[in-house]
Amino acid sequence: MFNNKFVRSSRALIFPLIVCALSFGYTSASAQEGPDASGISVPPGFSIEVWSDAVPNARSMALGDNGTVFVSTRRDGRVYAVRPVGEGSPVVRTLAEGLKMPNGIAFRNGDLYVAENHRIIRFDDIEAKLDNVPKPVVVIDTLSQERHHGWRYIDFGPDGKLYIALGAPCNVCEEEGSANISRMNPDGSEQEIFAEGIRNSVGFAWHPQTGELWFTDNGRDMLGDDIPPGELNRAPVAGMHFGFPYCHGGDIPDPEFGKDRDCSEFEAPAQKLGPHVAPLGMLFYTGDMFPATYRGQIYIAEHGSWNRSKKIGYRVSLVRMEDGQPSGYEVFAEGWLKDEEVSGRPVDLLVLDDGSMLVSDDQSGAIYRISYTRPLDEGVSP
């Protein structure tokens, strides 16, 4: 019989250790000196620069209709508005503070939605009111207040619904109402589970042609350095189950919860990622700045491992797509990890109107911009 009391007791002991590791485990000399893009490598023809170094704990990002980049945090309890100003550094304003883990952020029809640990709030007509931010409207306030994996990710789907990832409040457990991606109407009504068996997704996007939901998922800990893999998953329809807590990575039964279940019962990852890389924000690149071979591909911000004997992740990876399916997994941008020293941790990705890509970094408080300039000898068209 599953002992819920035992699992909660174990969580109470383990979670403070995790928080300590996340808060203190990755400070390095280079990180303390401030963000620096000079050591980050990108493919030939691309360049990367620090777009802003004034957004502490920068996490999820959303783009407003008038070019404002809205940035959430997790530890700091703030939401920022970053406004580009010509060729100079963008202007950063604090829109809200004192919030409870405001990680999730989404923009729709002029309104900014922010997901805290326990609720979703909305700032109406926000770009017209940056100088006089209105009091937020509460969309829904019935979310679980569990803090373990309690930083929510949200976005609007092509169906007009607001999707939210509700992580499992544990390393591994059975807990009703969690470990899923749910959706609701923009006013918070008719909340329902769209996909389940998802330990902790902190990034999802919809295929620009098919409208299918794709999402990252962070595998469980304490099974060793090399298992399970991180996951990139595809959910073309509602009602799919992706294995947690019974099966990990599509073919690894959980030593406790998987004894009476078969991995064939569940949906396998569309693409296995590196073990413990902590895949977070992801997107399909739909801009026109990058060369053709980089368009329509999936990019993933890998936050980096926290308890692996040799660190892995701390990069932006690229999943090549062919006929709607992954065909390769490679590094796109790296350099935040060198000789086991960490200078930054990528969290989320955002494509600007000019086709360049932003990368948020919650360790160094930076947002980087990746752009592409065609070399003179590359030919006429990218």
Residue 16 confidence (pLDDT): 38
Largest CA distance in the chain: 67
Residue 375 confidence (pLDDT): 61
Structure-token pair, residue 131: 């100088």
Residue 34 confidence (pLDDT): 72
Indicate the DSSP class of residue 323: T
Residue 118 confidence (pLDDT): 98
CATH number at residue 144: 2.120.10.30
381 inside domain: no
Closest CA to 314 of 55, 20, 17, 39: 39
Residue 85 confidence (pLDDT): 85
Structure-token pair, residue 205: 């996007």
Is the CB of residue 296 less than 8 Å from the CB of residue 325? no
In order, the DSSP letters of 238-268 are TTEE--TTTEETTTEE-TTTTTT--GGGSPP
Beta pairing partners, 91: 83
Residue 374 confidence (pLDDT): 73
1 inside domain: no
Structure-token pair, residue 186: 């923009």
Beta pairing partners, 82: 69, 92
218 inside domain: yes
Q: Give the CA distances from residue 373 to residues 57, 315, 376, in Å, rounded to whole numbers and listed in that order.
A: 29, 21, 9
Residue 87 confidence (pLDDT): 76
275 inside domain: yes
Is the CB of residue 242 less than 8 Å from the CB of residue 230? no
Element (H, E) at 15: helix 4-24
The vertex-195 CA angle with 359 and 142, nearest 5°, equals 85
List the domain range (segments joined by +) for residue 174: 28-372
Indicate the DSSP class of residue 75: S
Residue 29 confidence (pLDDT): 33
347 inside domain: yes
Residue 229 confidence (pLDDT): 98
Number of compact structural domains in the chain: 1
Closest CA to 347 of 280, 296, 268, 266: 280
364 inside domain: yes
Residue with tokens 């963008």: 90
Coil, strand, or helix at residue 41? Answer: strand
Cα-Cα-Cα-Cα dihedral sign, residues 314, 55, 359, 72: positive
Q: What is the mean pLDDT of each run of 10 residues along the chain (382 residues)?
A: 36 39 36 78 97 97 98 97 88 97 98 98 98 97 96 98 98 96 98 98 98 98 97 98 98 96 98 98 97 98 96 98 97 98 98 97 97 67 46
